[in-house]
């Protein structure tokens, strides 16, 4: 396949200039130019919303073409999609914000805001100017020499002035203090994080500082809010709790009249089973541990709401 030349112009979506009621939201009679309004559960379901004895309308085709074309036009316009807390991301995903371009680290939580994340989950991709500014203009090292500085922990009885130590660690102020290599290693090792380490004996409260990041901070409801996920949830689809904490889901469905059952799964375990929602519909609640997958199967029963405490 030969290279496809880029369209020489401002790419617009199919049916973006439809007039009157020539285009509606897929599966609806309303009209909208926004992606949020056009990406609905009906769109995700596809042509299943059209009865077996019915034919799709021109408005259906225009609505479908507009939504897909608008997504393509958005990517042509942005180049890289903007970060959004509701989007599911995977290791290596790339997003953009006003601050720059970020890449999700291995095992990172994509729902964390890159601009306020502090580099925990997202890595800011440096500009060429920043890369050039990092270049050492005076001293050069071979890879063997660098490995020797970082990996050789043996005490060779060599002494360094603090200037020499700071030269290795980042050119800090010279205080004329000398260290052996073992002492330098001790200074570096003392910087190790002690999170999760067991302690014994008495600890004075006056010597403690910081915030609690222990089990209490991982409890359901702590630092969480109810969020309406209805627009991004559908029957039969599997989702992952990547928040790092347990979350609670509350799902409400309406009876379709067809007698379809309703099920909820956490991982491979069926945690909710309602044999028949005939007449009144159903409402059910379940907890999803951190890192677990979950889904709801409710057949043709319409979804009234899906909210999550997350």
Terminal-to-terminal C-alpha distance of the chain: 46
Q: Residues 229, 296: contact at Cβ < 8 Å?
A: no
Give the pLDDT of residue 194: 47
Q: Quick: pLDDT tens for 141-184.
A: 777 777 777 776 555 556 666 667 667 676 544 445 666 777 77
**Cα(309)–Cα(288) distance, rounded to whole angstroms?**
10
**Cα(69)–Cα(9) distance, rounded to whole angstroms?**
15
Q: Kindly report the CA angle at 238 between 114 and 81, in degrees rounded to 5?
A: 30
Kindly report the average pLDDT of the chain as a whole number: 83
**Residues with Cβ within 8 Å of residue 266, at least 6 apart in sequence:** 286, 287, 288, 289, 292, 293, 294
Q: Quick: pLDDT tens for 198-243.
A: 556 565 555 555 555 555 566 888 889 999 999 999 999 999 999 9
Give the pLDDT of residue 196: 53
**Cα(74)–Cα(79) distance, rounded to whole angstroms?**
8
**Cα(102)–Cα(108) distance, rounded to whole angstroms?**
12
Q: Please give the average per-residue pLDDT across 276-287, as a whole number.
A: 81
Q: Quick: pLDDT tens for 50-64.
A: 888 888 899 989 999
- Res. 133 pLDDT band, cuts 50 70 90: confident
**Cα(27)–Cα(60) distance, rounded to whole angstroms?**
6
Task: Give the 3-state secondary structure of residue 101.
Answer: strand
Q: Residues 36, 43: contact at Cβ < 8 Å?
A: no
Q: Is the pLDDT of residue 137 over 70?
A: no
Give the pLDDT of residue 212: 53
Give the pLDDT of residue 145: 75
Give the pLDDT of residue 20: 84
Give the pLDDT of residue 193: 47
Q: Quick: pLDDT tens for 92-123.
A: 999 999 999 999 999 999 999 999 999 999 99
Q: What are phi and psi of 97, to 5 degrees?
A: -135, 180
Q: Is the pLDDT of residue 292 over 90?
A: yes
Secondary-structure class of domain 226-309 per CATH: mainly beta
| Secondary structure E strands in the chain | 94-97, 100-104, 122-124, 159-161, 178-180, 226-228, 239-240, 247-253, 262-266, 269-274, 282-288, 293-297, 303-309
**Cα(117)–Cα(88) distance, rounded to whole angstroms?**
17
Q: Is the pLDDT of residue 192 over 80?
A: no
Give the pLDDT of residue 51: 84
Best mean pLDDT range from 85-89, 157-161, 173-177, 275-279: 85-89
Spans of all domains in the chain? 7-79, 94-131, 136-187, 226-309
């Amino acid at each position: 396949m030969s290279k496809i030349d880029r369209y020489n112009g401002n790419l617009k979506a199919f049916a973006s200039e439809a007039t009157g009621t020539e285009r509606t939201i897929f599966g609806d009679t309303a009209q909208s130019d926004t992606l949020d309004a056009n990406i609905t559960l009906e769109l995700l379901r596809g042509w299943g919303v059209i009865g077996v004895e019915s034919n799709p309308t021109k408005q259906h085709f225009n609505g479908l073409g507009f939504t897909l074309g608008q997504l393509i036009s958005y990517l042509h316009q942005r180049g890289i999609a903007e970060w959004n807390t509701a989007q599911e991301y995977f290791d290596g995903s790339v997003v953009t914000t006003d601050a720059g371009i970020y890449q999700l680290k291995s095992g990172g939580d994509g729902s964390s805001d890159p601009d306020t994340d502090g580099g925990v989950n997202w890595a800011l991709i440096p500009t060429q100017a920043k890369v050039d500014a990092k270049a050492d203009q005076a001293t050069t090292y071979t890879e063997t020499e660098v490995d020797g500085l970082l990996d050789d922990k043996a005490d060779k009885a060599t002494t360094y002035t603090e200037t020499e130590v700071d030269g290795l660690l980042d050119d800090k102020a010279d205080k004329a203090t000398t260290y052996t290599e073992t002492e330098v290693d001790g200074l570096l090792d003392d910087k190790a994080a002690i999170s999760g380490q067991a302690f014994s004996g008495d600890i004075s409260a006056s010597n403690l500082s910081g915030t609690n990041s222990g089990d209490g901070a991982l409890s359901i409801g702590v630092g969480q809010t109810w969020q309406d996920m209805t627009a991004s949830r559908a029957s039969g689809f599997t989702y992952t709790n990547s928040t790092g904490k347990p979350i609670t889901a509350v799902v409400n469905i309406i009876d379709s009249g067809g007698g379809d059952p309703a099920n909820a799964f956490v991982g491979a375990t069926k945690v909710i089973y309602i044999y028949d929602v005939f007449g009144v519909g159903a409402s059910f609640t379940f907890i999803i541990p951190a890192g677990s997958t979950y889904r709801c199967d409710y057949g043709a029963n319409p979804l009234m709401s899906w909210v999550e405490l997350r």
